Amino acid sequence: MKDLERMWATPVPQVSHLGALNQHLRQCCLSARERTCGTNHETVGVRFARDRVAALAVPGRPFDACVIETGGVDKYQSVGFDGNRYSVPRRYAFRAVTVKGFIDRVEIVADNRVVATHARTYAKQERVLDPRHFLVVLERKPAALDHAPVYRDWQLPPAFHELRTRLEALLGPRTGSRQYIRVLQLLARFPLDRVEQAVALALARGDPNATAITAAIERLSDGANRERPSDPATITVPPPDLSRYDRLVPHSPFGGDHDRGDPTPAPGQPEAAEITDDAGRARETGPRSGHPE
């Protein structure tokens, strides 16, 4: 590593982002294949190709270039890593998680999946919070929307600010804020751009309410998940078999429209049972002996 640092990182490369640094290091690796080392007459590239044939196969799972630690989530829904704390969703509070610290981000793993991702900070004693992780608490404490720093500093598209203004004007500050919180909670289930699109549609229709926005998001999600053909002209729809409708039409052995009349009910049918009961009651209520008619 010291040799590589001396050759490729002295002086320190001046780059604007991590991708540019990776591109610089990759170009250094490609250039190094053409050089020779010591008394060897073969280039590094030739020797590397020979070693690569004898080496084991590359694992199918990519290597995670990160520091892995275990940690516990506290009651504030945060877990510590490298002197800072990072938030997780509410359902992972008081649980043990795995923290993976990459050079540019921090991933928190629970239940065999990544449950939170944050941009890594190299300061100390900082709290890196995602507002979406606290939306459940916001429903019980709506006043935190204006006072908690995690929400006060939340940078959302202008359509959200317009939505809250319209809701509070139509429903009042209290009810309007609760409606707005219901819309914010959709961000825990759907991406920001899709929620923003649904909010813009509701504002354009003049119907800004949480129920209409939720329905619009679900329609947009169904449309995004539905597979669409590249060329509608290639769709082939087979012609319907109209003869199947003839099976629904009753046919009479006498022909004509005889079947359309009122048929005599057969024994065992509900109509026949009703007629029989009526006849029995008529006999029971007939004239009795010893009584005048």
Same domain, 202 and 166: yes
State which of 129, 147, 165 marks the end of a domain: 129
Same domain, 83 and 19: no
Same domain, 111 and 149: no
Over residues 52-76, the pLDDT tens digits come to: 899 988 888 888 889 999 999 999 9
Give the per-residue pLDDT at 272.
46
Same domain, 125 and 197: no
Query: Domain containing 89: what range?
Result: 67-129
pLDDT band at 168 (very low <50, low <70, confident <90, very high): very high
Residue at 9 is within a domain? yes
Same domain, 150 and 220: yes
Overall domain count for the chain = 3
Over residues 88-142, the pLDDT tens digits come to: 999 999 999 999 999 999 999 999 999 999 999 999 999 999 999 998 888 888 8
Over residues 182-193, the pLDDT tens digits come to: 999 999 889 999
Same domain, 81 and 161: no
Residue at 204 is within a domain? yes
Give the per-residue pLDDT at 73.
96
Same domain, 141 and 178: yes
Residue at 146 is within a domain? yes
State which of 224, 251, 281 marks the end of a domain: 224
Same domain, 193 and 215: yes
Over residues 117-128, the pLDDT tens digits come to: 999 999 999 999
Give the per-residue pLDDT at 273.
47
Give the per-residue pLDDT at 288.
53
Give the per-residue pLDDT at 278.
52
Residue 83 CA to residue 262 CA, distance in Å, equals 88
Enter the pTM of the model: 0.65
Same domain, 85 and 139: no
Which pairs count as long-range contacts for 206-212, CB under 8 Å and 24+ apart, including other chains? 208/163, 208/166, 208/167, 208/170, 209/167, 209/179, 210/179, 210/180, 210/182, 210/183
Residue at 73 is within a domain? yes
Strand ranges, E, within 26-153: 67-72, 78-81, 84-87, 96-101, 105-110, 113-119, 127-128
Same domain, 202 and 124: no
- The one-letter amino acid code at 201 reads L
Give the DSSP letter of residue 61. S
Same domain, 7 and 86: no
Q: How much is the mean pLDDT over the chain? A: 83
Give the per-residue pLDDT at 7.
83
Residue at 239 is within a domain? no
